[in-house]
């Protein structure tokens, strides 16, 4: 990951931010947490808490890998679960393929 990856974020208060990754960040959750975008990341990215829940913009849905079994299980119990768009940002590894990713931070439970 040589060049920074741009992530477009809409937060719960309708603020829009364009974030650029920094060295050491491995997942979308890392970027959102480091930039104080309303992600709690209580479990630190272990996929055990769902406090990094985001909604992926429609244009990006087909570009991401499918949810894993654990991610699916955690998300389906979230009050704001969206069958199509919900993802755990800790399960989205950073790569140049995500450059320009657009997402919305899900409301906290």
> Per-residue pLDDT for 2 more than 90?
no
> Which pTM does this prediction carry?
0.94
- The predicted pLDDT at position 1 comes to 46
Range of the domain at 91: 6-105
In a domain, 39, yes or no: yes
In the block, residue with structure tokens 């104080």? 36
6-10 and 16-20 as β-strands: parallel, antiparallel, unpaired?
antiparallel
* pLDDT at residue 10 is higher than 50: yes
Evaluate whether residue 74 is within a structural domain: yes
For the chain, state the CA radius of gyration: 13
In a domain, 1, yes or no: no
Q: Residue 36 domain-assigned?
A: yes
Average pLDDT in the chain: 95
Domain assignment present for residue 82? The answer is yes
Q: Mean pLDDT across the stretch 48-54?
A: 96
State the total domains in the chain.
Answer: 1
Whether 92 is in a domain gets the answer yes
Residues in the chain: 109
Average pLDDT over residues 87-100: 97
Contact 21, 33 (CB under 8 A): no
* First-last CA distance in the chain: 33
């Amino acid at each position: 990951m040589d060049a920074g990856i741009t992530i477009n974020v809409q937060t719960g208060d309708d603020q829009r931010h364009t974030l650029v990754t920094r060295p050491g960040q491995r997942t979308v959750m890392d970027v959102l947490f480091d930039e104080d975008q309303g992600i709690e990341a209580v479990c630190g990215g272990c996929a055990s808490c769902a406090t990094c829940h985001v909604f992926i913009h429609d244009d990006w849905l087909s570009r991401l890998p499918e949810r894993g079994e654990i991610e699916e299980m955690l998300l389906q119990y979230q009050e704001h679960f969206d069958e199509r768009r919900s993802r755990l940002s800790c399960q989205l590894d950073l790569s140049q393929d995500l450059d320009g990713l657009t997402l919305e931070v899900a409301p906290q439970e």
